[in-house]
Chain A
């Protein structure tokens, strides 16, 4: 079974803090994704990566950056957290050529005070 893990289930940070969310997958998937999920808005793609050191912006990249130094790990960085970044963050991975079947991690509920 594919396993996608995220570093924290719950996180509370203060406005202005730098926040790192880590995601690791164990199935040698090429593609990795970061989403946020908010009530009524569904999942929105922040960034994705199709290879090590490669990244592309999704629909809402503002205020976020990402890092993919190793194939299995994809990090989401909030350079200066703001209250409007309070959300559920979901990481996903998928195979090359099968980008649409995504396997999700359990999510990180981030609260920015």
Chain B
């Protein structure tokens, strides 16, 4: 079993829709959680950190559920420019334990 698992998608949704996807992690000692965004043929870039209390950044909301060991990303009023692969990242106190999920591909159609 992978330490970090994501549904690879693709999620294909119309512009303006709300879309959500989850990421599960297996190690309860995980300490930090992030969502990165990777556009086609580009490098990953940090989208947002995920805090225990949940956090919001514009149309994006991230949540953490430690009991069930998953994090989620919700995108409201989706735009064509949201089309990308979203990578879930879980890390521990040591820099050597930074685990990237294999990503969820999102495609927004007009």
Q: Report which A residues bind B (CB closer than 8 A).
A: 31, 33, 35, 40-45, 48, 50, 56-58, 90, 94, 99-102, 104-107
* Residue pair B95, A31 in contact (C-beta under 8 Å): yes
B87-107 near A? 1/0 per residue, CB < 8 Å = 101010001101011110000
* Residue pair B101, A99 in contact (C-beta under 8 Å): no
Does B69 make an interface contact (CB < 8 A)? no
Chain B residues touching A, range: 20 to 34
Q: Among A41, A99, A107, point to the contact of B98 (Cβ < 8 A).
A: A99
* Residue pair A41, B102 in contact (C-beta under 8 Å): yes
B104 to chain A, nearest CB (A): 11
Q: Among B8, B46, B96, B102, point to the contact of A102 (Cβ < 8 A).
A: B46
Quick check: which of B13-21, B37-45, B52-60, B72-80 contacts chain A, the rest being far away? Answer: B37-45
Q: Among B45, B46, B96, B101, point to the contact of A58 (Cβ < 8 A).
A: B96
Does B32 make an interface contact (CB < 8 A)? yes
* Residue pair B42, A43 in contact (C-beta under 8 Å): no
* Residue pair B91, A43 in contact (C-beta under 8 Å): no
CA gap between A107 and B95 in the complex, in Å: 21
Interface residues of A: mostly helix, strand, loop or mixed? strand
Does B25 make an interface contact (CB < 8 A)? no
CA gap between A43 and B87 in the complex, in Å: 9
CA gap between A107 and B73 in the complex, in Å: 26
State whether A104 and B43 are in contact (beta carbons under 8 Å apart), knowing that A40-B8, A43-B87, A56-B96 are contacts in the complex. Answer: yes
Residues on A with beta carbons closer than 8 Å to the beta carbon of B34: 100-101
* Residue pair B43, A50 in contact (C-beta under 8 Å): no
Q: Among A56, A57, A58, A104, point to the contact of B44 (Cβ < 8 A).
A: A104
* Residue pair B45, A50 in contact (C-beta under 8 Å): no
User: Which of A31, A41, A101 has the most CB atoms of chain B within a 10 A radius of its CB?
Assistant: A101
* Residue pair B95, A99 in contact (C-beta under 8 Å): yes
B10 to chain A, nearest CB (A): 13
Q: Among B46, B96, B100, point to the contact of A101 (Cβ < 8 A).
A: B46
CA gap between A43 and B44 in the complex, in Å: 10
